[in-house]
Chains A and B, each alone.
Chain A
């Protein structure tokens, strides 16, 4: 596959994400909205970054661009050594498939489908065999502490458990970066802390880079670094417990 060959150059340097003057404009003519107005942001391998900001600040747009679901209007987005702006829709899909994992606020699990099958889904697109899929999915479920729950469907699981299944689905392919969009938004404080513990472990022990959107300062403190957005620009960028 051409796309794969291209993506082999993704490399594994210390810099994983680099935004240079990223602008995103929605709409045309007088009805334009500038969601991002020249954002510079770089994230290194192994970081745990919390992106914060009020609604409309551009943090969701930033996340969509990070996840290659949306393209910047201007500026460059380098994922490792690859200029994402130059990729086709299919190449971006392959980049997501091989290097990124997604966690959503609403879990977005397939209903009436067992936890195991949900976690196996990304492996299906990687063309993994049935045995490999099963083994790796079981492993991922164990990592998030859901051993023994693999045959339950989302309807039979609590919100916290569903989000853990979603995390297992995101990490099962061994991605370079985990993109979490308000992962604790639908959960109570105790469940939220459990999820944050899981993410922290993945970052510390698994060495996975995590970028997480949240509007809860309680959750942001789990990250090593906090980036605040306001009006489409980075307002502040600081390591937890000190300036960057």
Chain B
């Protein structure tokens, strides 16, 4: 009997293809949007996690001020190169330390110019950030010590300034500094913060300090902890060392911050997860609206088919059979909407994942839950119209014009 009712409902839906489609459009969009949001959000989160783990779980970042990120006030006491040296000297579990200072500068080659991030550091920088110099070479000791006018550029900068041309030995201008390109970094793609990691020019730290920023400050110290050593322990050791070097009284708060990858990961994935949740909530509202659409059309349908209901009651349909018929019709409609929405969502997720360059992660549970939810929407919003149909007086219904 239930199967027959489902067939009956399908027949009814087929009889009114256009209207049925418009009825379920709300559900299609709702389910489609929810699944797409969650899938893309999941992909973005995964990408952040992957990138962070590709940086190495043993990475620590020591930054002045309380937290890394926007809103870092300039009043904070910056690090000096000596701080980085102290870390590697004093703490035994550290594998490498790179003092880093960056500034956004326009790089010029010939008639091409490109604004990029100029980073001053030393060869440890490549080690700590897991980067390699593809062609060319790293900085030499004397270049580092003297602050020589040499640089290693990322692939994006090469493309923007040189096009297809050979770069080694060419000279690019960074403000008043003209420096020779001695190496080209291997490509690394987008970072977890959405930044192009290949859009970078690396120069020796002293070159940056003397020729560009004009001070001895180090913006950030990146620390790589030895494999197998505890990052927590290293974190504590660095904090202790920095407190000493900065002469902080025991009652003072830290005026620097040591972050490990777990913390950075949490910070970044937290943002994407919050965004995903917000967008999904908006999409879920459209599911609700879709449900109201179904109720609306089912009510119209009941009125329109009053005579039919009269006939059914007259030939011996029981109240609950008529109720079931309309309820099943609403559920079949909304489930159909759910199915179309799922297909649409998968197609658009794959496409969007490609466009946004995030991995496509099939999220089984959310697809299943969305489907159940769409069926439930049909059940809830179809019940009232179905009850109305079942309660009709057959005599009145048969007389209905």
Give the B-binding residues of A (Cβ under 8 A): 64, 67, 69-70, 89-90, 93-98, 100-102, 104, 108, 110, 112-113, 117, 121-122, 124-125, 127, 169-170
Known: A69-B394, A70-B395, A104-B398. Contact between A110 and B308, CB under 8 A? Answer: yes
Quick one: closest A residue to B316, CB to CB?
A: A97
Q: Mark B309-333, 1 if CB is under 8 A from A, else 0.
A: 0111111111111000000000000
Contact A94-B318, Cβ < 8 Å, known A70-B395, A108-B398: yes
- Could you list some 12 contacts between A and B, CB below 8 A? A64-B395, A69-B313, A90-B318, A93-B313, A93-B319, A94-B316, A97-B317, A102-B315, A108-B311, A122-B315, A125-B318, A127-B1
Is B4 located at the chain interface by the 8 A CB criterion? yes
Q: Which residues of A contact B8 (CB under 8 A)?
A: 124
**Nearest-CB distance from A94 to chain B (Å)?**
7
Residue of B nearest to A70 (CB): B395
Q: CB distance A90 to B319 under 8 Å?
A: yes
Contacts of A93 in B (CB 8 A): 313, 316-319
A108 to B313, CA, bound (A): 12
Nearest 8 A/B pairs, CB to CB: A97-B316, A96-B316, A122-B315, A93-B318, A108-B311, A90-B318, A69-B394, A102-B314
- In the bound complex, residues from chain A placing their C-beta under 8 Å from that of B307 are 108
Question: Looking at chain B's contact residues, is the secondary structure mostly helix, strand, loop, or mixed?
Answer: helix
| Complex contact B310–A108 (CB within 8 A) | yes
Nearest CB on B from A170, distance (A):
8
Contact check, B314 vs A169: say whether CB atoms are below 8 A apart: no
Q: How close is A179's CB to chain B, nearest CB, in angstroms? A: 9
B176: A residues at CB distance < 8 A: none
Among residues of A, the one whose C-beta sits closest to the C-beta of B396 is A69
| Least CB separation from A166: chain B residue | B311
Q: What is the chain A residue whose CB lies nearest that of B305?
A: A110
With both chains docked as a complex, state the minimum distance between the C-beta of A3 and any C-beta of chain B, in angstroms. Answer: 9
Chain B residue at minimal CB-CB distance from A120: B4
User: Which of B4, B313, B316, B395 lies at the interface centre, i.e. has the most chain A CB atoms within 10 A of its CB?
Assistant: B316
Q: Assuming A93-B313, A122-B316, A170-B315, what are 17 further A-B pairs, CB within 8 angstroms?
A: A64-B395, A69-B314, A90-B318, A90-B319, A90-B320, A93-B316, A93-B318, A93-B319, A94-B316, A96-B314, A97-B315, A104-B398, A108-B310, A122-B315, A124-B4, A125-B315, A125-B321
B15 within 8 A of A: yes
Central interface residue in A69, A94, A102, A113, by most chain B CB within 10 Å: A69
> Do A96 and B319 touch (CB < 8 A)?
no
Which residue of chain A has the shortest Cβ distance to B16 in the bound complex?
A112
Cα A70 to Cα B313 in complex, Å, equals: 12
Determine how close the nearest CB of chain B comes to the CB of A208; give it in whole angstroms.
Answer: 16
Q: With the chains together, A100 CA to B394 CA distance in Å?
A: 15
A117 to B308, CA, bound (A): 14
Interface residues of B in 4-56 (CB under 8 A from A): 4, 8, 11, 15
**From B312, B318, B398, residue with most partner A Cβ within 10 Å:** B318
Cβ–Cβ contact A67 & B314, under 8 A: yes
The smallest beta-carbon distance between B52 and chain A, in angstroms, is 60
Residues of B within 8 A of A97 (CB): 315-317
B315 cross-chain contacts in A, Cβ below 8 A? 96-97, 101-102, 121-122, 125, 169-170
With a 10 A CB-CB cut-off, give which of A93, A97, A117 has the most chain B CB atoms. Answer: A93
Chain B residues with CB under 8 Å of A117's CB are: 11
User: Least Cβ distance of A177 to chain B in Å?
Assistant: 13
Q: Which residues of A contact B321 (CB under 8 A)?
A: 125
Which residue of B is nearest A169, CB measured?
A: B315
Query: Closest residue to B4 on the A side, CB-wise?
Result: A124
With contacts A69-B395, A70-B395 known, is A125 near B317, CB below 8 A? Answer: yes
Complex: A222 Cα to B13 Cα, angstroms: 43
Q: How far is the CB of B309 from chain A (nearest CB, A)?
A: 11
Question: In the complex, what residues of A have CB within 8 A of residue B313's CB?
Answer: 69, 93
Q: Given A108-B310, A108-B311, A112-B15, verify A125-B398 contact (CB < 8 Å).
A: no
Within the complex, the shortest CB–CB distance from B398 to chain A, in Å, comes to: 7
Chain A hits for B308, CB < 8 A: 110
- Among B8, B314, B395, the one with the most A-chain Cβ atoms within 10 Å of its Cβ is B314
In the complex, chain B residues whose CB is within 8 Å of the CB of A95? 316
Q: Which residue of A lies closest to B393 (CB)?
A: A69
Supposing A67-B314, A124-B4 touch, asked if A89 and B398 sit within 8 A by C-beta, the answer is: no
A109 to chain B, nearest CB (A): 8
> Complex formed: what's the CA distance from A108 to B316 in Å?
15
Q: How far is the CA of A93 from the CA of B309 in the complex (A)?
A: 13
Inter-chain contacts of A100 with B (CB < 8 A): 316
Cα A160 to Cα B308 with chains together (Å): 20
B251-302 contacts to A, CB under 8 A, are none
Q: Which residues of A contact B394 (CB under 8 A)?
A: 69
A104 to B307, CA, bound (A): 11
Most buried by A among B15, B315, B318: B315
Most buried by A among B15, B311, B319: B311
